[in-house]
């Protein structure tokens, strides 16, 4: 009999009964090389705990929304933009993303970045920046732009 109360690790950052999905629907928003796993989705808590993994050189969507993120880095190395500040990230670092705050997570060029992200189940959809705002924010990373043009 399967014990759903315990789902064991099957490999590094993989778990029994947890499917690995694309981060978002292709074309719905710009991103590169990100996978998503939903580890917990419990109505009694009212929250989801997801695990995202960004491959080397990849990045999550630059976005903002009313709901907050509580992030714990589990694997690898990278950087995040929160508001207008870029932070270096390593294993076990913690990140708060406040409401309506622009954010993006990037893996290092030579290492992936894996992190847990806690969100409420009932949450608003992300907003995407216009081209001028995106360019100004992404310039904070101080290297070549990594954001493909957004959807029309
Ligand atoms: Mn977000």
Query: How many angstroms separate the CA atoms of 133 and 150, rounded?
Result: 12
Give the chain's domains with CATH numbers. Answer: 23-141 (2.60.120.10)
Please check whether residue 127 is in contact with residue 28, taking contact to mean a CB–CB distance below 8 angstroms: no
80 catalytic per annotation = no
Report, as an integer, the average pLDDT of 51-72.
97
CA 6 – ligand 1 centroid, Å:
28
CA 82 – ligand 1 centroid, Å:
10
Q: Is the pLDDT of residue 22 over 90?
A: no
Residue 151 confidence class, pLDDT cut points 50, 70, 90: very low
The residue that leads in pLDDT, 144 or 51, is 51
CA 68 – ligand 1 centroid, Å:
8
pLDDT at residue 12, rounded to an integer:
95
Q: Is the pLDDT of residue 152 over 50?
A: no
CA distances from 62 to 12, 82, 137, 140 (A): 27, 10, 9, 12
CA 103 – ligand 1 centroid, Å:
7
Report, as an integer, the average pLDDT of 58-71.
97
Q: Which two tokens stand for residue 114?
A: 């894996």
Report, as an integer, the average pLDDT of 76-96.
98
User: Any bridge partners for residue 48, and if so which?
Assistant: 41, 119
User: Any bridge partners for residue 87, and if so which?
Assistant: 80
Q: Catalytic residue among 82, 117, 128, 137, which?
A: 117
């Amino acid at each position: 009999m399967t014990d759903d109360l315990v789902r064991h690790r099957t490999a590094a950052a993989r778990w029994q009964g947890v499917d690995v999905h694309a981060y978002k629907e292709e074309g719905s928003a710009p991103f590169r090389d990100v996978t998503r796993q939903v580890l917990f989705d419990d109505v009694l808590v009212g929250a989801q705990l997801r695990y995202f993994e960004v491959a080397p050189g990849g990045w999550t969507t630059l976005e903002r929304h009313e709901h907050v993120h509580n992030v714990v880095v589990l694997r690898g190395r990278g950087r995040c933009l929160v508001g207008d500040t870029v932070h270096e990230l390593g294993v076990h670092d913690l990140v708060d993303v406040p409401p309506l705050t622009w954010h993006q997570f990037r893996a290092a060029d030579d290492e992936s970045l894996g992190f847990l992200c806690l969100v409420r189940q009932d949450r608003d959809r992300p907003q995407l920046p216009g081209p001028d705002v995106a360019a100004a924010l992404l310039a904070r990373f101080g290297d070549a732009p990594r954001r493909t043009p957004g959807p029309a």
